[in-house]
């Protein structure tokens, strides 16, 4: 597989149609393409008018579709880990009888998202497709989805150096003295396997030679504001955004006086989006007179907005994390557009820099050469946040 595109945006902006149009165009180029819905509120079946589920379904020549089924994955993969978690709950008096129970593992926050992500890694490693187009959930859920691998890996790294010893020491006495059934060796093996898979997944999602994020927006005030924050948060977690699609733009040919006010507002917000995404290629998609819910509608998007554009190439722009050596120590440059340094919380804990923007927080592990350095200052320079480190610096 040579390309993974992740589409996200505020609910109702039309990201499913635009993601599907890319899948249609990719298949038309002779590339075997899979359109994968990671949104639990699946609507690919409604779009294509074909029943689509957890198995790949052929929609057209070279075009296939799939909807994530986390409960199925939890039932048939990583079963040892799931059983261990269920036993821990039962030890507290909560019965968990499987997927149908209200207290099932499938109902725990983040578990569905976790296994949806792991499915992406499985598909990539299987190598059965040339391109993978991912239709993600609305913005907030997508951010929770994409930050989960790094966050869980961080906690697992903190826990497991002492976790195995604790399991060996406590397991023989846990049922008698503690009344808790701890995970057995098989479950620990599954947890270790999960950690390895998450590490590989994190590497794949942040490999900008393969995986990039595309944001879908509308030229409307609330959408523009959320898109601005979404762009900042995605960069905060190190994801590479290389395209923005502005949907439902009223064509210039529309001269009806009823739309004059709307067109003026759209011009205002189009200018704001261009200012935010000046480093990122943007594509405008017109507001059509019909619903985009057929293959013919997807073909129309391809002709009007995607034709002749290198939409499957990685659109390079500055970004990522860059470490530089300075006279006093080191500097970490973070591409963080739309951020305001006065609204960021920055501190250091052991070998990690912790950066918080709004409700989102990221732990950035420092290289070994900087483990004995402390934050000595930070400043904003355009779209970049510069964090300075020195030996004996103040935090």
Q: What is the CATH number of the domain that holds 380?
A: 2.60.40.790
Instruction: Mark whether 233 and 163 lie in a shared domain.
Output: yes
Check residues 137 and 393 and name the one with the higher pLDDT. Answer: 137
pLDDT at 126: 92
Helices (H) and strands (E) in the chain, counts: 10, 15
Instruction: Mark whether 195 and 62 lie in a shared domain.
Output: yes
Instruction: Mark whether 287 and 333 lie in a shared domain.
Output: no
The alpha helices in 29-64, defined as continuous H runs, are 44-48
Q: To 10 degrees, what angle do helices 221-236 and 260-276 make?
A: 10
Kindly tell me the sign of the dihedral angle through the C-alpha atoms of 296, 302, 308, 313.
negative
pLDDT at 214: 95
Instruction: Mark whether 43 and 89 lie in a shared domain.
Output: yes
Q: Write out the E strands in 10-52.
A: 33-37
3-state secondary structure of 36: strand
Contact status, residue 134 vs residue 4, Cβ threshold 8 Å: yes
Instruction: Mark whether 273 and 357 lie in a shared domain.
Output: no
Alpha carbon of residue 312 to chain centroid: 18
How many domains does one find in the chain? 2
Instruction: Mark whether 177 and 145 lie in a shared domain.
Output: yes
pLDDT at 356: 92
Instruction: Mark whether 91 and 231 lie in a shared domain.
Output: yes
pLDDT at 351: 80
Q: What is the arithmetic mean of pLDDT over 349-362?
A: 86
Instruction: Mark whether 240 and 157 lie in a shared domain.
Output: yes
Identify the domain boundary among 258, 293, 315.
315
pLDDT at 11: 86
CB burial readout 332-367, b (16+ within 10 A) else e: bbbbbbbbeeeebebebeeeebebebeebebbbebe
Report whether pLDDT(395) > 50. Answer: no
Check residues 260 and 34 and name the one with the higher pLDDT. Answer: 34
CATH, residue 138 = 3.40.50.300
3-state secondary structure of 215: strand
pLDDT at 39: 77
Report whether pLDDT(1) > 60. Answer: yes
Instruction: Mark whether 327 and 218 lie in a shared domain.
Output: no
pLDDT band at residue 225 under the 50/70/90 scheme: very high
State the average pLDDT for the chain: 82
Report whether pLDDT(99) > 50. Answer: no
Identify the domain boundary among 249, 280, 315.
315
pLDDT band at residue 53 under the 50/70/90 scheme: confident
pLDDT band at residue 394 under the 50/70/90 scheme: very low
Check residues 216 and 361 and name the one with the higher pLDDT. Answer: 216
Instruction: Mark whether 115 and 155 lie in a shared domain.
Output: yes
pLDDT at 189: 60
Low-confidence winner among 17-31, 154-168, 279-293, 321-335 (lowest mean pLDDT): 154-168
Identify the domain boundary among 266, 281, 315.
315
Low-confidence winner among 35-44, 190-199, 221-230, 274-283 (lowest mean pLDDT): 190-199
Q: What is the arithmetic mean of pLDDT over 236-262?
A: 89
Task: Write down the pTM of the prediction.
Answer: 0.83
CA distance 387 to 393: 12
Kindly tell me the sign of the dihedral angle through the C-alpha atoms of 38, 40, 44, 45.
positive
Instruction: Mark whether 245 and 329 lie in a shared domain.
Output: no
CA distance 293 to 41: 16
Instruction: Mark whether 250 and 167 lie in a shared domain.
Output: yes
User: For residue 74, what are its two tokens?
Assistant: 């939890």
Report whether pLDDT(165) > 50. Answer: no
The owner of tokens 């635009």 is 18
Which residue range(s) make up the domain with 185? 1-315
The owner of tokens 């050469």 is 369
Contact status, residue 87 vs residue 175, Cβ threshold 8 Å: no
């Amino acid at each position: 597989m040579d390309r993974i595109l992740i589409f996200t945006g505020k609910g109702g902006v039309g990201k499913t149609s635009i993601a599907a149009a890319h899948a249609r165009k990719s298949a038309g180029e002779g590339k075997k393409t899979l359109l994968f819905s990671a949104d639990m509120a699946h609507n690919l079946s409604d779009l294509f008018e074909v029943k689509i589920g957890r198995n790949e379904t052929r929609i057209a020549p070279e075009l296939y579709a799939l909807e994530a089924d986390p409960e199925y994955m939890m039932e048939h993969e990583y079963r040892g880990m799931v059983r261990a978690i269920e036993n821990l709950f039962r030890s507290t008096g909560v019965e968990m009888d499987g997927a149908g129970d209200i207290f099932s593992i499938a109902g725990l926050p983040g578990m569905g998202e976790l296994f949806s992500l792991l499915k992406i890694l499985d598909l990539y490693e299987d190598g059965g497709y040339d391109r993978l187009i991912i239709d993600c959930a609305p913005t907030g859920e997508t951010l929770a989805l994409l930050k989960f691998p790094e966050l869980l890996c961080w906690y697992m790294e903190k826990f497991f150096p002492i976790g195995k010893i604790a399991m060996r020491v406590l397991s023989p006495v846990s049922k008698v003295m503690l009344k808790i059934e701890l995970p057995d060796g098989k479950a620990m093996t599954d947890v270790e396997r999960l950690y390895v898979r998450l590490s590989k997944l994190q590497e794949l999602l942040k490999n900008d030679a393969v995986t990039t994020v595309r944001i879908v927006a509308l030229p409307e005030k609330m959408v523009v504001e959320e898109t601005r924050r979404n762009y900042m948060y995605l960069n905060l977690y190190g994801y590479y955004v290389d395209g923005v699609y502005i949907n439902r733009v009223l064509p210039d040919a529309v001269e009806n006086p009823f739309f004059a006010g709307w067109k003026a507002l759209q011009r205002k917000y189009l200018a704001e989006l261009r200012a935010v995404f000046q480093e990122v290629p943007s594509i405008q998609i017109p507001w059509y007179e019909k619903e985009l819910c057929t293959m013919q509608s997807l073909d129309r998007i391809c002709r009007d907005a995607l034709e002749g554009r290198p939409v499957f190439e990685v659109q390079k722009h500055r970004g990522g994390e860059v470490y530089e050596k300075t006279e006093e120590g080191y500097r970490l440059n973070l591409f963080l557009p739309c951020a305001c340094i006065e609204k960021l919380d920055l501190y250091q804990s052991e070998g990690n820099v912790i950066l918080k923007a709004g409700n989102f927080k990221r732990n950035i592990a420092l290289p070994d050469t900087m483990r004995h350095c402390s934050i000595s200052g930070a400043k904003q320079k355009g779209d970049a946040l510069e964090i300075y480190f020195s030996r004996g610096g103040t935090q």
